[in-house]
Amino acid sequence: MKVYRNKNGVRTQLYYGNKNEFQLLSLGTIELCKIGDYQDAIFRAVNGNTVYDSLTSEQKDGLTYGKWYILNKVGKATLDGSENWISVSYGVNSYALAIDNMLLSGTGTQSLVLAISNLYRGISYDNRATSGDNVIYVNNVAESSLYVRNTQYESLNGFKTALNNKNLEVIYYLATPTYTEITDTTLIGQLNDLKKNLQTYKNITNIFTVTAGLEPELEVRYLKDDRVAINSTLASLEARVTLLEG
Q: Per the domain annotation, does 101 fall within a domain? A: yes
DSSP letter at 106 equals -
Percentages (nearest 5) of helix, strand, coil residues in the chain: 25, 30, 45
Could you read off the pLDDT of 45-57 as tens digits, one per residue?
A: 999 899 999 999 9
Residue 107 CA to residue 2 CA, distance in Å, equals 54
224 has a pLDDT exceeding 60: no
Residue 69 CA to residue 7 CA, distance in Å, equals 46
Taking a C-beta distance cutoff of 8 angstroms, is the pair 26, 186 a contact? Answer: yes
Q: Per the domain annotation, does 104 fall within a domain? A: yes
Q: Which residues fall within 8 angstroms of residue 42, CB to CB, at 6 or more apart?
A: 30, 32, 68, 69, 70, 71, 182, 191
Determine which helix (DSSP H) or strand (DSSP E) holds 74, and give its type and residue range: strand 68-79
Distances in whole angstroms, Cα of residue 115 to Cα of each of 104, 151, 224: 10, 20, 51
68 has a pLDDT exceeding 70: yes
Q: Per the domain annotation, does 242 fall within a domain? A: no
- Closest by CA position to 70, among listed 186, 198, 200, 188: 188
59-68, 115-124, 145-154, 215-224: range with lowest mean pLDDT: 215-224
Q: Per the domain annotation, does 132 fall within a domain? A: yes
Q: What's the rounded mean pLDDT across residues 206-217?
A: 60
Q: Which amino acid is at 159?
A: F
Q: Per the domain annotation, does 137 fall within a domain? A: yes
Taking a C-beta distance cutoff of 8 angstroms, is the pair 120, 171 a contact? Answer: no
Could you read off the pLDDT of 99-145 as tens digits, one per residue?
A: 999 999 998 899 999 999 999 999 999 998 888 888 999 999 888 89
Q: Per the domain annotation, does 188 fall within a domain? A: no
60-64, 116-120, 231-235: range with lowest mean pLDDT: 231-235
Prediction pTM value: 0.68
Q: Per the domain annotation, does 144 fall within a domain? A: yes
Residue 11 CA to residue 13 CA, distance in Å, equals 7
Which residues constitute the domain of residue 118? Answer: 77-175
- Closest by CA position to 219, among listed 28, 24, 73, 4: 4
Q: Per the domain annotation, does 20 fall within a domain? A: no
Domain count within the chain: 1
